[in-house]
Structure 1
Amino acid sequence: MEAIIERCAGLDVHQATVVACVLIGEADRKPHKEIRTFSTMTRDLEAMRDWLKGHGVTHVGMESTGIYWKPVHTILEGHFELIVANAHHIKNVPGRKTDVKDAEWTADLVRHGLVKPSFVPPPPIRDLRDLVRLRRSLAEALATEQNRTLKLLESANIKLASVVSQVFGVSGRAMLKALIENTATPQEMADLAKRSLRRKLEPLALALDGRLTEHHRYLLAFHLRRVEAIEADLRALDERIEEKAQPYAAQRRLLRQIPGVDDRIAVAIIAEIGIDMTVFGNARRLAAWAGVCPGNHESAGKKKSTAARKGNIHLKTTLVQAAVCAARTKGSYYKDKYHRLKARRGSQRAAMAIAHKILVAVFHMLARIVPFKELGEAFLDQQARTRTTTNLVRRLNNLGYDVLLRPKVAA
């Protein structure tokens, strides 16, 4: 193999130390090698940066080891061509393994251009990504806390969830607080219902007549405080996300044209892939990176069925959520395609296929700044009609007939 980079470095990153290997030399000669070990304290990382710059290093490669690569990347960013590689892609052959040998192997791969860089978004997108992922974690925590509250109510034989669809709505929350205070009868608590829920006053009174002890009331107050605290955090986080996502308002408006994609999903997609599609090259690479396309498993000329590829789990779940919403959008091509696939392959594979189509649309819309083109719910029927007509005409031509197609006159 011929070397293509004359001055490069490989880093073996750990929690407390970084082993750096510098290779310097022309392509047709054996390179000069220098190895040093640095601490991961900020001052030592800055010293490593200066040491690399002193050797004229242009390219630096490292593995994406947990989160330990991030502070190293932050300090070196803007000074070198950084290559953050998937650890599975640059794994050394089995044998003697040391930190020094890992650094040497990474540097040698970088020198020969054999390391495929992972996608690392620019700092503004990284900040937005952290906020969006934090919001998702908080939303999951809120759902968990609400489920704990519902289980507590069931243990006290309070059947509120059987009558009220939104237990944590305005009416439900007022009844929960009344249960905690323990100063009202079931009929009086049922009378706290608002609007259409007032039609269920008698079932509500029966549902609120349970065996709520002082222990239950303590736990219910505890859970309700937790729910309200998480909701307050979510509101504050939404304001911060809106502020960080303001520069991408035009891209958000574009993505909202896609069926199933609302403003929150549009922000989540931008936070994961950014707005510069040149880093992915084409839509197929983006789909493979996101993990919304099938894997490849071929041996001896036979292709075997495989599960979907592993990819960005945050982006994948967001796209599947959008696909499920798109399948409920009236007049949408995605809805018709989803139900056709669901009948043959099941709901999960159908949702994954629609997620793939949504991501392909996102790629082209962001790459070319073009609006979404809705094919319509009748597109597949029209396509099948055209295909059937073409096939039948070709078969008749092969049998020696001249075919003239003429639309049938309505009776």
Structure 2
Amino acid sequence: MSTKPGSTHIRHLRDLARYRFKLTCMITGEKNRAQNCLTVSNLKLDDVFSDVFGKSSRSITEYMLAHPGEIFDVAPFVDSRCKTPMEEIQAAVDGAISPEQANKLRQCLNHIDESEKHLEEIEREILRLSDKYQAALDLIRTVPGFDKNPMTAIQILSEIGGDMSVFPSAKHLVSWAGCCPRNDQSNKRIKSTRISRAGNYIKPILVQVANGLLRSKKHPEITGRYKRIKSHRGHKKAIIAICRMLLTAIWHILSDLKPYTAEGFLESRPVNKAKVLTTSQALNLLKQRGYTIKDDIVPAMN
């Protein structure tokens, strides 16, 4: 079975993965609307619960909708594993929801429940279709950030396919995904270095994975590259650089059919003899990148 992006099977998988992406965005939008209903009603559940739509918070919300204006004890609705003091939770529900906001909140919650059930059905179908590409998915999951959620690897595979022969090099894949600067210059004058608008579905996934990897200490090749670029280019360009790094790794492992290793990124780069700096120039460059220059401390002789 061909795994090129244009094949019928991978195209069907890509359509379902994109539909799942849009459905997830729609659920997030409905949750924001429901959260707004609680906020304007002075119900601060987001201050005491990490997930406003979790089991404990949802039970409290349902009781308030069924018994509007009633003062009640929240203890029976809170899970025993909740670490927030009961007094703070009780104070968080010290508000009143109007009939209009209650009706809007009920509609949002019903829509969320229906959408999540539909999302589960879509994910089951996606997992069924992705069985044919298990070998390629296993390789992608060796890349940092793609091993936790199986849907993340499937979304990447559905967009790029499993056959890297359609991309002559990793740079072609990066350009196709819209993770490289545009070539926008005229008469040696560079007009813009912004990334292109390509990759509307693959780029958000890569950015999400890259941001998650910054909190991990298991992959110094990624955090080190991010810190080097951020020091003089800023957070956004550093994140896009990590996205290029991840895509390059995916292209190589699918081309060579070998799992991800960090050795290639941790190898020392050869010295470019064409770039020569004086001592003062080198010190100024280090200062611009955020380094503090100190004199060597000579240990005292006894």
CA distance in 1, matches of 2:103, 2:261: 55
Do structure 1's residue 327 and structure 2's residue 218 form an aligned pair?
no
The 5 A counterparts of 1:280-299 are 280-299=167-186
CA distance in 2, matches of 1:200, 1:220: 26
Q: Which has the higher helix share?
A: 2
The Cα shift of 1:353 comes to 0.7
The Cα shift of 1:304 comes to 5.0
Do structure 1's residue 163 and structure 2's residue 48 form an aligned pair?
yes
User: Which secondary structure does the structure 2 equivalent of 1:191 belong to?
Assistant: helix
User: Which secondary structure does the structure 1 equivalent of 2:77 belong to?
Assistant: coil
Summarize deviations over 1:364-399 as a string: whole Å, max 9, x none. Answer: 11112111011399x3xx737x749xx99xxxxxxx
Summarize deviations over 1:224-266 as a string: whole Å, max 9, x none. Answer: 1111111111111110110011111111111111112232221
The answer for the alignment partner of 2:245 in structure 1 is: 357
The 5 A counterparts of 1:202-217 are 202-217=87-102
CA distance in 1, matches of 2:264, 2:46: 39
CA contact (8 A) 2:170 2:252 kept: yes
- The two structures have a TM-score, normalised by structure 2, of 0.81
CA distance in 1, matches of 2:112, 2:197: 34
The answer for the alignment partner of 2:282 in structure 1 is: none
The 5 A counterparts of 1:78-89 are none
CA contact (8 A) 1:158 1:210 kept: yes
The answer for the alignment partner of 2:225 in structure 1 is: 337
The answer for the alignment partner of 1:372 in structure 2 is: 260
CA distance in 2, matches of 1:295, 1:160: 45
Q: Select the structure of larger CA radius of gyration.
A: 1
The count of residues paired between Structure 1 and Structure 2 equals 269
The answer for the alignment partner of 2:78 in structure 1 is: 193
The answer for the alignment partner of 2:156 in structure 1 is: 269
The answer for the alignment partner of 1:225 in structure 2 is: 110
Summarize deviations over 1:119-154 as a string: whole Å, max 9, x none. Answer: 951111110111111111111111111111111111
Unpaired stretches in structure 2, ≥5 consecutive residues: 277-302
CA contact (8 A) 1:327 1:339 kept: no
CA contact (8 A) 2:170 2:251 kept: yes
The Cα shift of 1:305 comes to 4.4
Do structure 1's residue 316 and structure 2's residue 177 form an aligned pair?
no
AA matched with 2:187: A
Summarize deviations over 1:188-212 as a string: whole Å, max 9, x none. Answer: 2343111342642111111112112
CA distance in 2, matches of 1:155, 1:224: 16
The answer for the alignment partner of 2:289 in structure 1 is: none
CA distance in 2, matches of 1:134, 1:209: 39
CA distance in 2, matches of 1:189, 1:387: 65
With over 3 angstroms needed to count, the CA separation of the structure-2 counterparts of 1:367 and 1:160, relative to structure 1, is same
CA contact (8 A) 2:69 2:97 kept: no
CA contact (8 A) 1:291 1:310 kept: yes
CA contact (8 A) 2:64 2:70 kept: no
Higher relative contact order (CA 8 A, sep 6+): 2
- The two structures have a TM-score, normalised by structure 1, of 0.61
Summarize deviations over 1:16-42 as a string: whole Å, max 9, x none. Answer: xxxxxxxxxxxxxxxxxxxxxxxxxxx
AA matched with 2:184: H
User: Which secondary structure does the structure 1 equivalent of 2:110 belong to?
Assistant: helix
User: Which secondary structure does the structure 1 equivalent of 2:176 belong to?
Assistant: helix
CA distance in 1, matches of 2:259, 2:231: 31
The 5 A counterparts of 1:236-247 are 236-247=121-132
Summarize deviations over 1:50-102 as a string: whole Å, max 9, x none. Answer: xxxxxxxxxxxxxxxxxxxxxxxxxxxxxxxxxxxxxxxxxxxxxxxxxxxxx
CA contact (8 A) 1:292 1:356 kept: yes
The answer for the alignment partner of 1:28 in structure 2 is: none
CA contact (8 A) 1:260 1:322 kept: yes
Unpaired stretches in structure 1, ≥5 consecutive residues: 1-118, 393-411
Q: Which has the higher strand share?
A: 1
User: Which secondary structure does the structure 1 equivalent of 2:179 belong to?
Assistant: coil
The answer for the alignment partner of 2:36 in structure 1 is: 151
CA distance in 2, matches of 1:277, 1:186: 62
CA contact (8 A) 1:365 1:371 kept: yes
Backbone CA RMSD of aligned residues = 2.5
CA contact (8 A) 1:178 1:189 kept: no
The answer for the alignment partner of 1:306 in structure 2 is: 193
The Cα shift of 1:220 comes to 2.1
